[in-house]
Structure 1
């Protein structure tokens, strides 16, 4: 049941963020994403590593979307409030982080699958936000798609490392068997 609540909760937050951003409103999506992340974190048995994933995801999102916004390869609807990229995108990264050890743990457990998931799924999510909602406009489609694929692949590799380090530290504790 927790799997489905996490998966559906994230999808709801994504649709709210993208749908309202397309209408020029960042705050409903930010509230949805942060609310989803807060509830997921509060009910998580993995709070410490979830916080590490949130920090890593936020850093990845600020860097990747900041670069894409600064280069002009992507234009975001509801660009304000802006960090290096739009705040609604940054909160989507935070919400996504809360799926990694929950509804997406099966992906994270397989590093090659996780990286492929990022390389393919990252750009597809942006294209979906672009085509279905006009929340993102690809000004330089090839460059932006390649940057998204590379950025999301690296991000997923980083997330895998964080999760695997957590599991390694647990299994190497005295009195804990693997």
Structure 2
């Protein structure tokens, strides 16, 4: 998978998800994410690693975004259908698509846990801020949500990056 294809593909999925949600539709982001995940996984030398990362990322999404929704710290556009405890399907799809960047355009995060924590802690709030602007009123986070989001991603991204590194090394060595 190419660096630029991975980076631009994920950005396209993000735009589809946020734009679709801003217009009350979850399906553009979900469809875009499914296509991107399939494209990345099937084009990978280690497709099982990619599928496992997508599943782990979705579990992280349930923890981070699900708690924010459950505590009513954030309101999502196109919130239905939602997965328990309240993360919208399009958000979960974004988490799965994001996982595909860990062996692609964000591979550097696999080498430095501190960098992954900083990228997660700063990047996620920045992405939410971009999504909650006037043009795209997708999320209206409270101050608690900003703190939870930064902390959650500062933990989730190093976890995901570490698993990506570990699973990739094991797969390259022929271990399951």
* SS at structure 2 position matched to 1:41: helix
1:116 alignment partner in structure 2: 118
1:153 aligned to 2:158? no
1:136 alignment partner in structure 2: 139
* SS at structure 1 position matched to 2:75: strand
Task: Write the deviation string for residues 137-172 of structure 1: whole angstroms up to 9, x where unpaired.
Answer: 12x2x2111100111011112112212323553687
User: Unaligned regions of 5+ residues in structure 1, if any?
Assistant: 174-178
2:92 alignment partner in structure 1: 90
Task: Report deviation, 1:49.
Answer: 1.6
Instruction: Please tell me the root mean square deviation across aligned C-alpha atoms, in Å.
Output: 1.8
Task: Report deviation, 1:106.
Answer: 1.6
Task: Report deviation, 1:118.
Answer: 0.3
Q: Is the CA contact 1:30–1:88 (under 8 Å) kept in the aligned structure 2? A: yes
Q: Is the CA contact 1:108–1:114 (under 8 Å) kept in the aligned structure 2? A: yes
| Aligned residue pair count | 172
* SS at structure 2 position matched to 1:133: coil
Question: TM-score if structure 1 supplies the norm length?
Answer: 0.90
Q: Is the CA contact 1:52–1:162 (under 8 Å) kept in the aligned structure 2? A: no
- Quick one: structure 1 residues 170 and 66, their matched pair in 2 at CA, closer, same or farther if it must change by over 3 Å? closer
Q: Distance in 2 between matches of 1:43 and 1:171?
A: 16
